[in-house]
Structure 1
């Protein structure tokens, strides 16, 4: 008896992937690659954390529960900056509001920092090169007169052209801006207006007398470089050019 046995199948080689080397890169992608510079991110982030370490109100790795416990007995407007527990964010602003401690994430993109928001005012929010500039801006925005209704948590950023408009159109726009805070993470009906007034310094990083003097100088002098002081003192003042 003759048995017919099928022989082994030939091993088929994988078809090589053909990569068109001569295909041009899309202009939009090529432009993005040319403009992208990771060193700018490194400088911006390093500068921000350097300022935060000097400030005294950066609490580092701190949970939302710990921040709530620290701010619970504080007055309204007291705030601190801490590391964010969200993997997509670096930092979070924790502040005591009328309803209690509230946390606001800080966005970072292309060397700029901006408060996170789900409100319609988000496209008009300002961005800053570092956290200290961001916080100082909102603290300064909250020092208006009580009747104007504007707070540090309501950044009604208006373009120069809009500032020239008057009458009913401006009133309606101002009303819309007032109803939507850039720091809102809930529904508009439960919106919380944040007033940034004073930082809460970490006990281990309580500011020295030298640093307090530097803050006082920065509050009263627009350009410290023109002060009649020795070089080392001028450099010390310029290391932290903020008022908080």
Structure 2
């Protein structure tokens, strides 16, 4: 049997508090960075309601999407997207420093996790574009979802306003290369390119 002095108990409590505050700082930093990245996209709509998102997407083609704040308290963000069955909403979960799509309990462990919301969206956009290319060329009929479920595609963002030519150029350059530092460009321009290193 061991006895703890009041000092050692206090030390343990202090260490626990330090760890908890580091986690909070880490979460605040990650969410802050996620917000900064989202605001740079042009397709983050902020506090849009589900009905407003539905109106925006109503006449859009399948795969058109936007990201907005979630109206549910347990979630930070929601992807609103047009599917073959109409507009739908998919919540983004934040847990233990990572973002992932909310889903059925059985599928959750299989879903990829990401450091940022934009990285998550970028992944699913690339996946959707690959899927839709394969389907349009007739290469893969097995990609059709089973049991009459609706396939979610993210292919075309809805911008809050027309994006600047600089931003569109940055996306095109990031799409073409991940070696921005190797490009023969002024440092200021390299900084602009790396400030938003996504290709969506």
Looking at structure 2, the residues matched to 226 and 105 of structure 1 have their Cα atoms a distance apart, in angstroms, of 38
Query: 1:118 Cα deviation (Å)?
Result: 1.3
Inter-partner Cα distance in structure 2 for 1:128 and 1:33 = 25
Task: Note the C-alpha offset of 1:34.
Answer: 3.2
**Comparing both structures, which one devotes a greater share of its residues to helix?**
2
Partner of 2:156: 198
Report if aligned partners of 1:141, 1:150 keep a CA contact under 8 Å in 2. no
Q: CA RMSD in A?
A: 2.4
Indicate the residue corresponding to 2:84 in structure 1: 98
User: What is residue 174 of structure 2 aligned with on the other side?
Assistant: 218
The answer to whether 1:51 aligns with 2:37 is yes
Distance 1:131 1:232 in 2: 26
Please give the per-residue CA displacement for 1:11-49, whole angstroms capped at 9, x wherever unaligned: xxxxxxxxx958969x9xx77973752111111111111
Partner of 2:199: 243
Paired residue secondary structure (2:79): strand
Tell me what 1:34 maps to.
19
Task: Report the TM-score, using the length of structure 2 for normalisation.
Answer: 0.84
Structure 1 residue 192: Cα displacement:
2.4
Q: CA deviation at 1:198?
A: 1.0
Q: After TM superposition, what 4+ stretches of structure 1 lie above 4 angstroms from structure 2?
A: 20-25, 30-33
CA distance in 1, matches of 2:171, 2:87: 26
Conserved in 2, the CA contact under 8 Å of 1:97 and 1:193? yes
1:159: which partner in 2? Answer: none
Change (3 A) 1:193 1:119: farther
Aligned residues of 1:113 and 1:130 also touching (Cα < 8 A): yes
Structure 2 unpaired stretches of 5+: none
Cα–Cα, structure 1 residues 199 and 105, in superposed 2: closer, same or farther, change >3 Å?
Answer: same
- The aligned runs of 1:148-227 (5 Å cut-off) are 149-150=142-143, 179=146, 191-203=149-161, 206-227=162-183
Say which SS state the counterpart of residue 58 (structure 1) adopts: coil
Separation (CA, whole Å) in 1 of partners of 2:142 and 2:164: 35
Instruction: Map Cα deviations across residues 147-189 of structure 1 (whole Å, 9 max, x no partner).
Output: 16448xxxxxxxxxxxxxxxxxxxxxxxxxx65xxxxxxxxx5
Alpha-carbon distance change, 39 to 22 in structure 1, aligned in 2, over 3 angstroms: closer
In the TM superposition, what is the alpha-carbon distance from 1:207 to its structure 2 partner?
A: 1.0
Structure index of larger Rg = 1
**How many residue pairs get matched?**
185
TM-score (norm 1): 0.69
- Look up the SS of the partner of 2:163 in the other structure: coil
Among 63, 81, 94, the residue aligned to 1:108 = 94
